Amino acid sequence: MDMDRQQGRSAGKVYLIGAGPGAADLITVRGARLLGEAQVVLHDALVSPEMLAWCPQAELIEVGKRCGQRSTAQLFINRQIVDLATKHERVVRLKGGDPMLFGRADEELQALEAAGIEYEVVPGITAALAAASAIGRPLTKRGVSRSVAFATQAKAADAIDVEADVKADTIVYYMGRDQAANIAAQLIARGKPASTPAWVVEAATTAKQRSHQFTLSQMAAGEAARWMDPVQPSLLMIGEALGTRATELVESERAA
């Protein structure tokens, strides 16, 4: 045991790594390398077994959060990370998507800073970018969309607030499945055309990926909620840039 550990000081370093949207080979090269060097990996519930194959040498600790299911308290996760960093040289906190977007990274970084523990953040591909690629629809489009909002909504229906969201040309809602109809209705009430394309993309980049296009009015009527799988992670993607391209319409007419 080295002198730092004998004196109770941390000699370890923590890496907050983005696992990406789901597919194991969409993690960054740096992220995969660091996983292969870690002694312990604290990972989200949605991180796949294929992703964890990058770190066969590590102790694995699941600390995930799943909507509607029993979850690990964030304060406990913070304490775990700090404690493990005093016992190991390389600790990885593996988060789905990108750590810095809806990943509660700020709370974990504050805990590490308060404990004087060195850390590094390794970005990952966030689900919105992966889903846009999966359905072949850009989030921005010249002359149509020059702004994108990433948003989440609280569970309670009376807590929904789309006032800021509606100003963006394209809107992507994370964890919005249970409020899809309410979100769409409020967007329409605040001026978004009822005909606006509204996609649902589930489990992007995985073998279980599914996607379907609706209009905003169809989503407000509950059609998207009836189509969605209550188990799979999903995104709501709304905006004119996500509409059917002219070339696709031509191909569709030729096929008919």
> Over 50: is that where the pLDDT of 26 sits?
yes
pLDDT digits (tens, 9 = 90+) for 240-251: 999 988 777 656
Rounded mean pLDDT, 8-21: 84
Q: What is residue 1's predicted lDDT score, i.e. its pLDDT? A: 36
Residues 6+ apart with CB under 8 A from 187: 162, 165, 166, 171, 196, 216, 238
Locate tokens 């004196």: which residue?
7
Residues in the chain: 256
Are 12-122 and 127-244 the same fold in CATH? Answer: no
Euclidean distance between CA atoms 168 and 184, whole angstroms: 14
**Where exactly are the structural domains of the chain?**
12-122, 127-244
The CATH superfamily holding the domain 127-244 is: Tetrapyrrole methylase, C-terminal domain (3.30.950.10)
When the pLDDT of each residue in the chain is averaged and rounded to a whole number, the result is 90
The CATH class for the domain spanning 12-122 reads alpha beta
Task: Please give the single-letter amino acid code of residue 219.
Answer: M
CA 54 vs. chain centroid, Å, equals 20
Q: What is residue 153's predicted lDDT score, i.e. its pLDDT? A: 77
Euclidean distance between CA atoms 235 and 177, whole angstroms: 7
Least confident of 63-67, 84-88, 103-107, 233-237: 63-67
Nearest Cα residue to 108 out of 81, 127, 130? 81
pLDDT digits (tens, 9 = 90+) for 126-147: 999 999 999 999 999 999 999 9
Q: 94 exposed, middle or buried (CB, 10 Å; 0-12, 13-18, 19+)?
A: buried
Euclidean distance between CA atoms 93 and 219, whole angstroms: 36
Q: Which of 44, 95, 98, 165 is catalytic?
A: 44
44 counts as catalytic = yes
130 within 8 A of 21, measured Cβ to Cβ? yes
Euclidean distance between CA atoms 62 and 221, whole angstroms: 37
Write the secondary structure of 183-245 as one string of H (helix), E (strand) and C (coil). Answer: HHHHHHHCCCCCCCEEEEEECCCCCCCEEEEEEHHHHHCCHHHHHCCCCCCEEEEEEHHHCCC
What pLDDT band is residue 2 in, cutting at 50, 70 and 90?
Answer: very low
Percent of the chain topping pLDDT 70: 88
Q: Which of 13, 65, 169, 178 is catalytic?
A: 65
Percent of the chain topping pLDDT 90: 80
What pLDDT band is residue 160 in, cutting at 50, 70 and 90?
Answer: confident
Write the secondary structure of 137-172 as one string of H (helix), E (strand) and C (coil). Answer: CCCCECCCECCEEEEECCCCHHHCCCCCHHHCCEEE
Euclidean distance between CA atoms 184 and 152, whole angstroms: 13
> Over 50: is that where the pLDDT of 3 sits?
no
pLDDT digits (tens, 9 = 90+) for 91-126: 999 999 999 999 999 999 999 999 999 999 999 999
98 counts as catalytic = no
> Over 90: is that where the pLDDT of 64 sits?
no
pTM: 0.87
Q: What is residue 8's predicted lDDT score, i.e. its pLDDT? A: 47
